[in-house]
Amino acid sequence: MNKPLLNRREFSGLCVGFGLVAPTLAALSSATARGAAATVKFADGAAVPALGQGSAGLGQGRRPESAEEEALRTGLSLGMTLIDTAEMYGGGRSEALIGRATAGQRDRVFLVSKVWPNHVAGNGIARACEASLARLGTDRLDLYLLHWPSRDADLSSIVAGFESLRAAGRIRRWGVSNFNVSDMEDLFRVPHGDRCATNQVLYNLDNRGIEHDLLPWCEQHGMPVMAYSPLGGSGAGLLRDPTLARIAAAHDCSVAAAALAWTIRNGNVIAIPESGSAEHVKENAVGLSLTLTHEDLQALDTAHPSANR
């Protein structure tokens, strides 16, 4: 093996000699922990980044919409090309904002939206889909989800509605959200229910319940899971967590990036953090290529143990 031109100490000395700031040990070490951006595959072979962009709070007046659009475009430029939304987010305003932010870039984006369970009876699912497509300014969705289990229509009619949209080219695949294992088993018992592409659920370091049943069930059935609120949702207490802060410092990244790297660590989870700030999106994007060490994971397991149920 060729001897390196400079070792770390010599390199740091040269930096000081030339009046430069030498990289920290953490920064140098973290470079070896970052590799290719993580991806997740659906059962049909479609690959998406393991880190996408959520939008539950976008388009609702919390921030200037121009800043939120810039944040989405920044995410796209950094490889976070999956964007998740829903018709109920701001009464459709989130979808409309995403449509503006992605105008002219549709082929770069993996678009996900959701239908509210009150809208699936009869021909409602088709009407809801068409309304979402119009707001998003597109002719198709890459993934269309049932937002919650529905009491207004049986699963077989919901699946039939999704399959009709897929056959018409209005959606490319469909899935569900907030289903537990019992719900998933009911779904798989109806005709074509096993064509479900994903289940989007709450998952983060403080909410690990799916690790005991739902996550293994989905893995067994070749189905990736989408994780909403991967940073802990409102309040974002995880961003003040001392264990995460120490790990983030060791990797020279933000606490958010470390938390996101944990969420997508097993290769079958797609995390969809929301951010209305381009700077925060840049911080989040580091998590896409960050690999936590075995010691990091052990420390987080100790600080945030997975409950029995």
The C-alpha atoms of residue 300 and residue 228 are separated, in whole angstroms, by: 19
- Look at residue 36 in the predicted model and tell me its pLDDT: 82
- Work out the number of other CB atoms within 10 angstroms of the CB of residue 67: 12
Tell me the whole-structure pTM to 2 decimals: 0.88
What's the 3-state SS for 275-287?
Answer: CCCHHHHHHHHHH
> From the candidates 89, 144, 203, 228, which is the catalytic residue?
89
User: Is the pLDDT at 280 greater than 60, yes or no?
Assistant: yes
Residue 148's Cβ-count burial label (10 Å; 0-12, 13-18, 19+) is middle
- Look at residue 34 in the predicted model and tell me its pLDDT: 66
State the Cα torsion 205-308-220-296 to the nearest 10°.
40
Average confidence (pLDDT) over 21-40 = 55
| 144 part of the active site | no
- Look at residue 152 in the predicted model and tell me its pLDDT: 74
Pairing relation of β-strands 143-146 and 269-271? Answer: unpaired
DSSP bridge partners of 228: 202
CATH architecture of 47-236+267-277: Alpha-Beta Barrel (3.20)
pLDDT in tens, 41-89: 999 999 999 999 999 999 999 999 999 999 999 999 999 999 999 999 9
